[in-house]
Structure 1
């Protein structure tokens, strides 16, 4: 299935649609999101660091040096893709300013997509 998506994305790039076409394609590859489930996942796994609307201002962020990303800004960034963000959530990421723990043992790609669509819906 991923091979198909990669091939189709390359076709979009080659056809002149450029990055915008690639971004649209990759951001929509997960199908219809379950926003209600996304809210539950967000409240269980994300809200303490990322805050009520995913802006990176949760209680943990206020109490430590951890600086979580503003998820909404990342989702609406014209140069980023949802695939990259989902990878960060599942695999985690460490930097000088904070750390994103990996969630691949508790969330799937589709569940993270549900979270992202919920965040978009409340902003």
Structure 2
């Protein structure tokens, strides 16, 4: 009886050995050739950039913020916006809307005024890339972007243009000493029209 049990036990062990031999191959540990910390998945990168270590501190740190987002000039340029959001415009500019219609003549006149008084800093199309902008800190406002923002209400634009930016640390002059209020509104109309030139709008 004991011999029979031993035979069955040996037969069972033999079957287990056969099944183990037929099972999936065990994964092998990576060899120590090359930089094992980069791993096989990064081999293509190592071919493009020899010695690249994606686990190094340089590659693991978060990407830096854009320099312009934290530069002192850009922080200064945001001061007017913060003032407007927190306190609004000065009392004399409250609820001041543009009383003039966006006629062809007003757009044309506004374009001439913009070219004479604004384009040197803000650029011909309001991109802040005028010739004089290179030496300004903070850089000029991107008027083409600003004009479509919710804060660009008439009273904000009249206040900004009339009073300039000295109180906020910018070099924009106070145009109320140079232009009439009517002329400032003409410039606003021109900007709201998309900074067109005569050829684009059919203005002659």
Q: Which runs of 4+ in 1 moved over 4 A?
A: none
Q: TM-score, with normalisation over the residues of structure 1?
A: 0.66
Q: Is the 8 A contact 2:158 2:185 kept in 1?
A: yes
- Greater Rg over alpha carbons, structure: 2
Q: 1:63 to 1:99 in 2, by over 3 A?
A: closer
Q: TM-score, with normalisation over the residues of structure 2?
A: 0.42
The answer to whether structure 1 residue 108 and structure 2 residue 177 are counterparts is no
What is the RMSD computed on CA atoms of the aligned residues? 2.1
Distance 2:151 2:138 in 1: 24
Give 1:116 deviation, angstroms: 1.9
Residue 12 of structure 1 corresponds to which residue in structure 2? none
| Count of aligned pairs between the two proteins | 97
Distance 1:83 1:35 in 2: 19
Match of 1:47 among 96, 105, 119: 119
Q: Which runs of 5+ in 2 are unaligned?
A: 1-94, 197-204
Residue 101 of structure 2 corresponds to which residue in structure 1? 32
The answer to whether structure 1 residue 117 and structure 2 residue 189 are counterparts is yes
Q: Which has the higher contact order (CA 8 A, sep 6+)?
A: 1
Give 1:66 deviation, angstroms: 4.1
